[in-house]
Amino acid sequence: MQGIIIKNISNDYVVESNEKQYTCKARGKFKKDKIIPLVGDKCIFDEEKKYIIELLPRSTELVRPPVANINQAFIITSAKEPDYSSNLLDKLLCIIEYNNITPVICFTKLDLLNEEEKQKIEETISYYKKIGYKVFKNTEIEEIKKSFKEKITVFTGQSGAGKSTLLNKLNPSLNLKTNEISQALGRGKHTTRHVELIEMYGGLIADTPGFSSISFIGMKDEDIRDNFIEFNEYREFCEYKDCMHISETDCEIKRQLGKNILDSRYENYLKFIKRWKMLSVSILGIKEKIKKNIKKLDNLNIDFFHIDIMDGIFVENTTWEYKEIKKIVKHRKTKKDIHLMVKDVKKYIDDFINLKPEIITFHYEATDNHIELINYIKRHNIKAGISIKPNTEVEKIKELLNMVDLVLVMSVEPGKGGQKYIDNSTNKINELYNIRKENNYKYLIEVDGGINKETKEYAKNADILVVGSYITNNNYEEKIKEFKGL
Ligand SMILES: Nc1nc2c(ncn2[C@@H]2O[C@H](COP(=O)(O)OP(=O)(O)OP(=O)(O)O)[C@@H](O)[C@H]2O)c(=O)[nH]1
Ligand SMILES: [Mg+2]
Ligand SMILES: [Zn+2]
């Protein structure tokens, strides 16, 4: 008989066929051939002996969650709490497209937005609709129900985005726990995570725990490009047939930016193919109206506020009113990237913990208690970074590289602004890049000092670029766009 595997708990596979369920084992030959039946697999099974005899060819296969034959993915995208992330949405769209699964976007928590934010999200929604995606709001329940027929659908999206909440609304008898981190569909207690397919509105649906580490593994740059679907509409007008839409002349995609192609889509594309980096804007260079200007920056497309803290001992300068700055950035949404150029590292870490920064970086040269301090920062759920001055070689920090989250290469002498990028920094960045690759380490590489539109090319193996006066001396928005090549 033919059926579909709808559930798997250890060695038992529940096969559904003609609305009946059979708990089967897999035949020994599967194990021998290293074939693992997946939920979603269509199979031939022996209803008497309760054995799966053969798996039919899969149309799609996901590793995480492990499901076969999924043909539709609902990307549950929250507008707030967690904040809307175009990066995550574009990443999921691109990867899902690549896997030959049809993505459907579903926005949640629009009720938490103010008028201005609502307006912005509506524009976003129209863009994704315009380029051909089905987009729902989680309030459009009746419409959503109609989209499951004859499909195997997976729900995906950030933890807390509202997947379980929506599934409960669709089918209250599921009674899924909400507001809990990573609850899979399984009711009751089980430690092994399993996926289960559930019949709903003429199709099958799998709930999956919220995941954060979906990746482009296996995808080439060209694959990423080809799965930004709206690019395909314009690429025939690029001068080069194999245009990557980066630095080529006469590129239609670049011409369409701000017109028919959304800047954030293109920017995410560049990030995904690693041609664009995270931007950490150094705010100490802001000379006037600091509060107002930080607020302005907060609404622009940057990844971090880079905050340099100097104590007058480790470096000669002191940071102007850093307690004041702390207050100003505290309620801004942009993540904080704290760079301590201080001797008494511990004291300053303690001073900044309550700001909940993303990263705290201290100097290798400032202390001997590296490991202790790294662990101390990490214990507070903050990324721990180590920084080296221009005269400190990478060799010195080799033993710390498997434990730090970030290495900050100073490409000028710390403590003074407006210096020129030191050429040798490029060698250090590349060395760190190679060490990371060889050892499969996870640290990010950040570079700070003398970075502008030209020197950023030297730092192409870094992940985070700290930019100061190049942006803060000018019209921020324009300079950020120019810097990013938009
Ligand atoms: N205001 C508002 N809250 C929502 C909405 N949708 C979900 N929530 C709330 O958001 C919280 C998280 O929702 P869940 O459904 O548990 O999120 P999830 O995507 O299943 O999260 P994981 O299971 O961790 O992956 C819950 O407290 C929900 O009540 C919505 O549209 N508006
Ligand atoms: Mg959930
Ligand atoms: Zn092009």
The pairing of strands 134-137 and 102-108 is: parallel
Residue finishing a domain among 185, 207, 229: 207
The CATH number of the domain holding residue 375 is 3.20.20.70
User: Which ligand is nearest to the Cα of residue 246, counting in written order?
Assistant: 3
| Within-domain flag for 199 | yes
Answer yes or no: do 374 and 460 share one domain: yes
pLDDT in tens, the chain (486 residues): 999 999 998 889 999 999 999 999 998 888 888 889 999 999 999 999 999 999 999 998 877 778 899 999 999 999 999 999 999 999 999 999 998 999 999 999 999 999 999 999 999 999 999 999 999 999 999 999 999 999 999 888 888 899 989 999 999 888 888 875 444 443 333 334 567 899 999 999 986 654 444 678 778 899 999 999 999 999 999 999 999 998 788 999 999 998 999 999 999 999 898 778 899 999 988 878 889 999 999 989 899 999 999 999 999 887 777 888 899 999 899 999 999 999 999 999 999 999 999 999 999 999 999 999 999 999 999 999 999 999 999 999 999 999 999 999 999 998 776 789 999 999 999 999 999 989 989 999 999 999 998 899 899 899 999 999 888 888 898 899 888 877
Provide the strand spans (E) within 364-414: 383-388, 406-410
The whole-number pLDDT of residue 180 equals 55
Q: 162 in ligand 1 pocket by Cβ < 6 Å? A: yes
Answer yes or no: do 289 and 265 share one domain: no
The CATH number of the domain holding residue 238 is 1.10.40.50
> Could you report how far apart the first and last alpha carbons of the chain are, in Å?
57
Burial of 287 (0-12, 13-18, 19+ CB in 10 A): exposed
- 380 C-alpha to center of ligand 2: Å? 26
The whole-number pLDDT of residue 249 equals 84
Answer yes or no: do 167 and 225 share one domain: no
- 306 C-alpha to center of ligand 2: Å? 34
Tokens at 24, concatenated: 């089967």
Largest CA distance in the chain: 83
Provide the strand spans (E) within 323-405: 335-341, 359-363, 383-388
Tokens at 110, concatenated: 């629009």
Answer yes or no: do 41 and 110 share one domain: no
List all residues 6 or more positions away from 150 whose beta carbon is below 8 Å from its beta carbon. 202, 203
Q: In this structure, are residues 320 and 284 in contact, taking their beta carbons and an 8 Å threshold?
A: yes
Answer yes or no: do 464 and 378 share one domain: yes
User: Reduced to 3 states, what is the DSSP secondary structure of residue 350?
Assistant: helix
What is the number of alpha carbons within 13 Å of residue 190 lying toward its C-beta? 13
The whole-number pLDDT of residue 336 equals 97
Q: 450 in ligand 1 pocket by Cβ < 6 Å? A: no
Which of 178, 187, 205, 213, when mutated, tests ligand 1's pocket best, judged by the most ligand atoms within 8 Å of its CB?
Answer: 178
Answer yes or no: do 411 and 453 share one domain: yes
The whole-number pLDDT of residue 208 equals 61
Q: Which residue puts its alpha carbon closest to atom 31 of ligand 1? A: 109
| Within-domain flag for 215 | no
The pairing of strands 51-55 and 42-46 is: antiparallel
Residue with tokens 């001997």: 368
| Within-domain flag for 418 | yes
Residue numbers of the domain that contains 248: 221-274
Tokens at 212, concatenated: 């954060």
Q: 168 in ligand 1 pocket by Cβ < 6 Å? A: no
Phi, psi of 53 (to 5 degrees): -95, -40
Answer yes or no: do 327 and 403 share one domain: yes
- Distance in angstroms (rounded) separating the CA atoms of residues 186 and 189: 8
Tokens at 198, concatenated: 């559930």
- The distance from CA 213 to its chain's CA centroid, rounded to whole angstroms, is 8
Answer yes or no: do 169 and 111 share one domain: yes
| Within-domain flag for 263 | yes
Adjacent-strand bridge partners of 25: 51
Residue finishing a domain among 254, 274, 294: 274
Ion ligand 3 residue ranges (Cβ < 5 Å):
238, 243, 245, 251, 253
- 305 C-alpha to center of ligand 1: Å? 29
Residue with tokens 């001797």: 343
Answer yes or no: do 286 and 351 share one domain: yes
- 271 C-alpha to center of ligand 2: Å? 29
The CATH number of the domain holding residue 45 is 2.40.50.140
DSSP 433-464: HHHHHHHT---EEEEESS--TTGGGTTTT-SE
Answer yes or no: do 254 and 135 share one domain: no
CA angle, 280 then 471 then 452, to 5°: 80
- Distance in angstroms (rounded) separating the CA atoms of residues 124 and 149: 27
Provide the strand spans (E) within 18-133: 20-26, 42-46, 51-55, 61-62, 67-68, 72-78, 102-108
Residue finishing a domain among 57, 80, 95: 57
- The distance from CA 142 to its chain's CA centroid, rounded to whole angstroms, is 31
Tokens at 327, concatenated: 């207050």
The CATH number of the domain holding residue 139 is 3.40.50.300
What distances in angstroms separate CA 291 from CA 116, 294, 457, one per listed residue?
Answer: 22, 5, 32
pTM (2 decimals)?
Answer: 0.74
Number of structural domains, the chain?
4
- Distance in angstroms (rounded) separating the CA atoms of residues 419 and 229: 43
Q: 161 in ligand 1 pocket by Cβ < 6 Å? A: yes
| Within-domain flag for 216 | no
Answer yes or no: do 324 and 372 share one domain: yes
Answer yes or no: do 270 and 282 share one domain: no
The whole-number pLDDT of residue 178 equals 81
Tokens at 139, concatenated: 């309030």
Tell me the per-residue pLDDT of 174-221, one tens digit each, with 9 for 90 and over.
888 887 544 444 333 333 456 789 999 999 998 665 444 467 877 889
